[in-house]
Amino acid sequence: MRRVPGSSAGFTLTEIRDLFFALDWFPDAHAPMPSIVARGRRPNLRPCGVCHRPEGVGGPENASLAGLPADYMLRQIEDYRTGKRTTGVPARAHVFRMIAALKELTDEEIKASVAYYAAMKLPARIKVVESDAVPANYVPNWYYTPKKDGPSEPLGSRIIEMPDDEEAFVNRDSRVTFTAYVPQGSVARGRELAMGKEADRIPACGGCHGDDLRGQADIPPLAGRSPSMIVRQLYEFKHGLRNGAMAEPMKDNASRMTLSDMTALAAYAASLPP
């Protein structure tokens, strides 16, 4: 029987590895899960809660859904279903599996899952650390984790985001926190870009995402979200992999961004309270 900090629940390894069972370590912390979130629908529809978690926090390898505007999520589902949105990493089989599954969702399942996650508030769980070095790490399964007793290594221009408790992360604990190592000066540089200090090249983010980057109307919040996820989305806008409704402004903005710009903006957004 496996357990995680702060929970009285216990699950077997078989249950933890069951991808048609959204582990709920903290059932009293949220409303009852819709069936499509908790159990999915065999054979192709894995439950949303397996990857995005019952509390909507997701992980660096996917996305947090908690607190996203309902209309925004509905647009993304439609974009995935119609081919207007995809991924820049062909090897990410789980993304293509999700896209195929989204095409099988009923209108009722879409409505229930979107309402469930939109009603949530994303907790603060990411610590951004500016550094020249990072613990030596490897990628066991679409996420970074430190090597045991490993030395440090140069960070360079990367973002390396790792769970602070890998065992709890593997056990799908939605309360796991993360440390995101970013290059020195990234947060200040990102703040300048976000505030429009280079508006002739990159318009201020607050015009759409709100001055505190917590979103407004049907524009998604960025504050406190995974910097790994934010960089992926900026990259995919830049390279024409997101083409749905309302994508054009972001495609235009991202077209002028360097990877260094994206890293800085993501570091700044992740450093803010959600």
Q: Which pLDDT belongs to residue 89?
A: 84
pLDDT computed for residue 175 by the predictor: 96
pLDDT at 24: 97
Check residue 64 and give its pLDDT.
Answer: 98
The confidence score (pLDDT) of residue 215 equals 97
> What is the mean pLDDT, run by run of 10 residues, along the chain of 274 residues?
96 96 97 98 95 97 97 97 92 90 97 98 98 96 91 97 97 97 98 97 96 96 98 96 93 97 98 98
d(Cα 77, Cα 82) in Å, to the nearest integer?
A: 9
Looking at residue 88, its pLDDT comes to: 84
pLDDT at 245: 83
Taken in order of first residue, the domains within the chain and their CATH numbers are 13-118 (1.10.760.10), 126-271 (1.10.760.10)
